A and B are shown apart, each in its own frame.
Chain A
Amino acid sequence: LSFYTSLTHQTQPEHPKILMELQGAAKMTWQNYQEKGLPERKNYTLPCLISECSFPRINSSAILAYFQEIQRVTVNNHTIQEIIQQLKKLMPQGAPRLNVTVPEDHFEQKCFTSAILQQFSNCMDRIHNAKCSTVAKRNVQ
């Protein structure tokens, strides 16, 4: 799980577990999101990773801001609430809160939500797959 620890630059032993739980919740949220078939919007992008030094770090404070806005415009979605809970666990102390504005138009809100959920799920999958290949490489050496 050390690969995941480097992703969060934290020494908290629990962070790798949190990231694995986040990956599961991200996948489930995207799979369950009923508004399939919405037009793809390039202008809605989620800053999922912070590229620092040699290793990307998960941008938990930015992602949290996006998901707190998405929670506001979705009805009682338990997995979105779990994602928020898990992201709060990764939050560095005193991290600034990002301002995210969700479109006012109802249809655009759906496009926004769909874009962010999909990008987050893909991002967490990339992290997971990168982890598996790192572990596989370590087993080969």
Chain B
Amino acid sequence: LAALPHKPENISCVFYYKKNLTCTWNPEKEAHDTWYTVNRTNCYGGEHELCRIENRASCSFFYPNVTYPDNCSIEVEAENADGKVKSDRTQWNLDNIVKIEPPEIYYVKPVLGVKRMVQIMWRRPQLAPRSTGLNYTLRFMTVNSAKWLEVNFRKGVYEEQTYNLTELQAFTEYVLTLRCVAEESIFWSDWSEEKMGTTEEEAPLG
């Protein structure tokens, strides 16, 4: 009894800037040996590239064949001994699926004379599109707490990579972590390594 492979569906792609474009699809597993051919077409120049894989529902196109910015179309063809089945053609703007590295926090320290506040400085991820502003989420809590608090903010391409976290408790140690996302993307970076910092001491009232 002929058993064609299932039509590849739920195609999902992630673009790791200056690394690769990785696409996955369903079903992850087939009953019989199945070969997949993923056809990628660049919006610019209309160049094609094929990625072939066997018995795995994932394939990657590597830098420098994939460069930002671009708008790629992706089509997956599944083949087994009984025949071939093609997926629908899907369109992927790299702006919307770029995933970048986590930022690296340089320091968390109080600003002399400013109570209940710490300043955070970090390094903008080097592997991030040069023309893209980044949205950030800063997570923080006191060291003996178990509940994270969060603030969100945006940084333009040329803005200084610092943030002043205010309204904290005086003379208290905090742990902080930071993540970011390219402003048109749906994929956040992983969280940065955690960093500690303590607010300034405050003279007792009265």
Contact = CB atoms under 8 A, between A and B. Distances in A.
Contact of A24 (B45, B69, B70, B130): B130
B67 A1 contact: no
A9 interface: no
A107 B24 CA distance: 47
A20 B45 contact: no
Interface in A14-65: 14, 16-18, 20-21, 23-24
A88 interface: yes
Nearest to A82: B64
B129 A17 contact: yes
Interface string A74-99: 00001101100110110100000000
B144 interface: no
A18 B95 CA distance: 12
Interface residues of B, number: 16
B15 to A, nearest CB: 13
A52 to B, nearest CB: 23
B44 interface: yes
B131 interface: yes
Given A21-B131, A23-B130, A88 B45 contact: yes
Interface string B52-65: 00000000000111
Contacts of A23: 130
A88 B69 CA distance: 12
B44 A89 contact: yes
A90 B44 CA distance: 9
B131 A89 contact: no
B189 to A, nearest CB: 19
Contact of B63 (A1, A78, A91): A78
B67 A86 contact: yes
Nearest to B157: A20
A99 B47 CA distance: 22
Interface string B112-141: 000000000000000001111000000000
B92 interface: no
Closest 5 pairs between A and B when the two form their complex, measured CB to CB: A89-B44, A81-B64, A82-B64, A20-B131, A17-B131
Interface of B: 18, 44-45, 47, 63-65, 67-70, 129-132, 158
